[in-house]
Amino acid sequence: MMVSLGIAGASMLVMAIIFSYILGWANKKFKVVVDPKIEEVIQALPGANCGGCGYLGCSDYALAIVADNDPVNKCTVGGEACAKAIADLMGVEVGDMVPLHAIVHCNAPLSSRLGRTQYMGEKRCASAQQVAGVQGCTFGCLGYGDCVEVCNYDAIHIVDGLARVDYEKCIGCGACTKACPRGIISIEGFRQKAIPVVACSNKDKAKDAKAVCNNACVGCKACAKESDLFTISDNLSKCNYDGYSPLKYEEVMKAIEKCPTGCIQFMGSR
């Protein structure tokens, strides 16, 4: 009996030694060597993991910077100071850093919306989007604040049923764009503190657009006749944000004056 136990114990010991050796060999053989610079870049990033840079989080962005020479100025949360710190680590130039902010492509408060019905469901945009006939315009802001919920910077609020951006606080992380079920919020580069925006997303023909909203773009081309910043596509005016400069201010103001529904306005900080 004792001999059998001794043999069993010895066998287990031998097996343990063999497996330990195999594991040790495998650890060395398949060890992934991580560039220490990746960790340095991660430490330089703010750790917000907001996804505003286009990656899932700070670690993925750091890997792209080190492994793929991705631009160092994509972190909107860290801003210029963060970009400079990473540039110093990588031995590169920061490059042109254009502030990013959210734009809500709707300018209709509750009083301007036509065809609204009483919505009795969950007060969330994602839920209201599933119900037909909540309001006449199927493109406009629903106003229940899904974007407000996900903003970590208190930079967007619902005012009179419409999402409004606080440009002193918005850092362009993009959380609101992902939360909006109608896709009417975009992140754009602000080369000036304030830029002209066509605050409408309605692509219906003029008659149908006017039937559901007093502030809708009707694709009349009045703005395009005043400034080449504006083009008409799918019955909707669009503005070339990157092309705007103070030299364009006067012509943009003329376009704003000619707009019959007032859907063109300046957005940004003062």
Tell me the domains of the chain and their CATH numbers: 36-90 (1.10.15.40), 100-268 (3.30.70.20)
Give the model's pLDDT for residue 219: 97
41's enclosing H/E stretch is: helix 36-44
**184: exposed, middle or buried (C-beta count within 10 Å: 0-12, 13-18, 19+)?**
buried
3-state secondary structure at position 29? helix
Give the per-residue pLDDT at 102: 97
Contact 106, 176 (CB under 8 A): no
Q: What is the pLDDT of residue 72?
A: 93
Residues 157, 162, 163: CA angle, nearest 5 degrees: 40
List of the chain residues with pLDDT < 70 = 1-10, 24-34
Supply the pLDDT for residue 76.
Answer: 87
pLDDT of residue 24: 67
Per-residue model confidence (pLDDT) at position 5 = 56
Collapse the DSSP code of 268 into the 3-class scheme (helix H, G, I; strand E, B; otherwise coil) and give the result.
strand
Residues of the chain with pLDDT > 70, as a percent, come to: 91
pLDDT at 135: 92
Tell me, what's the pLDDT at 18? 75
pLDDT value of position 32: 56
Does the pTM of the predicted model rise above 0.75? yes
